Amino acid sequence: MSLQRHWANRLARTISKMFGGEAAGGILLIVVAIAAMLAANSPLQHTYHDLFHDRLAWTPIPKLDTLHLWINDGLMAVFFFVVGLEIKREVLDGELSDAKRRRLPVLAAAAGMMVPALVYLTIAGTGQPMQRGWAIPAATDIAFAVGVLALLGKRVPASLRLFLLTVAIVDDLGAVAIIAVFYTAGIKLAWGLGGLGFLATLIAANRFGFHRYWLFLVLGIGMWFCVLYSGIHATVAGVLAAFCVPLTVTRGDSMLLRLEHALVPWNSFVIVPLFGFANAGVALAGIGFDGLFDPIPLGVLLGLFIGKQVGIFAAIFASDRIGFAPRPEGASWAQLWGMAVLCGIGFTMSLFIGALAFPRYPLLIEEAKLGVLAGSLLSSVLGYAVLRFASRPAKLPA
């Protein structure tokens, strides 16, 4: 069946037409988040919880014995696989392939991860287990942020959209590294070596030109299975497998580009919304809106809403002023501030890291979710407002 006739692609085109192109992904996530909150705070709350957390009657992989685990450890591996494909394409043949062009987005992304982490630690403290949530506000949700940006149409210069995408991609790479390094409790050596064996075989298949989809699929699933049982989070396998997929055009075709094109609709309109619905539902009965002022949700909220915009905007401003790298062409300082605010939309990756940070503390996971949702909401509203009313490009006074 051709890609054009694939139902996931048809769904993507239908939703895009309904909500306006690139804005569709972001709008769908808003709808999903609202639906999850309603379900978690209604008479359906027990049904909602049981649906995702009750043990399955049967599962082919004993470690994945709930629907929630299949989504977070299984489907999200596909999400990270697509992220890996995007990162590899950008590094080898995109905005990150040129040293001069990648200076500013890499610097902005790094500052946009460090400052939110510092804000979080300042508020939540460095004691355990609160300290483990430092990375929650460090991530940006590409679909959400680009969706809000798309609602503004031609009010926003193309250079600003491209810069936001590049920063978010570098941000994703940083988040993957954080998950692999800081949220791995212990590694089971035999399973880890098995994963390395599959990875080495994938690299060899690429190196020696064995470009068969079925081969990469089998080897990728094998590596994911080994990583799942190794103690390293299974989604890391998705990124590593993506890095092994050939980008080189052979006979007018590129495996990486075809896979990315085929999987992006699944990511945007099936996997991420399903993950959002399964993870964004916060039961307020045990927390309440007053709970936003507890250390963890407040640290996450301010990390996303304040830390992100301060870190990214300060990096752009300082870089431009000292001549390290100029700001995006055609974008005013007000527009750059609005873009920096939008980077405070965490959602998918922040919710994901929140679940990894407090695996033994369900209440803290719920509090972290509340902070993610509140920080993302404030960032989307303020970011949209700033960009909506931003003036045309103008220079700061000398």
- Residue 4 maps to a domain: no
pLDDT of residue 336: 96
Instruction: Indicate whether 49 belongs to any domain.
Output: yes
Residue 386 pLDDT exceeds 70: yes
Domain membership of residue 320 as a residue range: 18-183+233-389
Please indicate, yes or no, if residue 52 is contained in any of the structural domains.
yes
In a domain, 189, yes or no: no
Q: What is the CATH number of the domain that holds 375?
A: 1.20.1530.10
| Residue pLDDT, tens place only, 363-379 | 999 999 999 999 999 99
The label of the residue with tokens 């709808």 reads 31
The pTM assigned to this predicted structure is 0.89
* pLDDT of the residue at 188: 92
Average pLDDT over all residues of the chain: 89
Name all contacts of 155-158 with Cβ < 8 Å and 24+ positions apart: 155/387, 155/388, 155/390, 156/335, 156/387, 157/328, 157/329, 157/330, 157/331, 157/335, 157/393, 158/330
What are 321-359's pLDDT values in tens digits?
999 999 998 889 999 999 999 999 999 999 999 999 999
Q: Name the domain count of the chain.
A: 1
d(CA 204, CA 226): 18
Q: Mind spelling out the 3-state secondary structure of 179-247?
A: HHHHCCCCCCHHHHHHHHHHHHHHHHHHHCCCCCHHHHHHHHHHHHHHHHHHCCCCHHHHHHHHHCCCC
Q: What is the pLDDT of residue 13?
A: 58
pLDDT in tens, 2-34: 444 455 555 555 555 544 456 777 788 889 999
User: What's the pLDDT tens digit per position in 246-269?
Assistant: 998 766 679 999 999 899 888 888
Find the mean pLDDT for residues 275-285: 91
According to DSSP, the residues that pair with 253 across neighbouring strands are 250
Per-residue CA distances from 158 to 150, 155, 171, 184, 252 (Å): 11, 9, 20, 39, 29
Residue 70, in any domain of the structure: yes
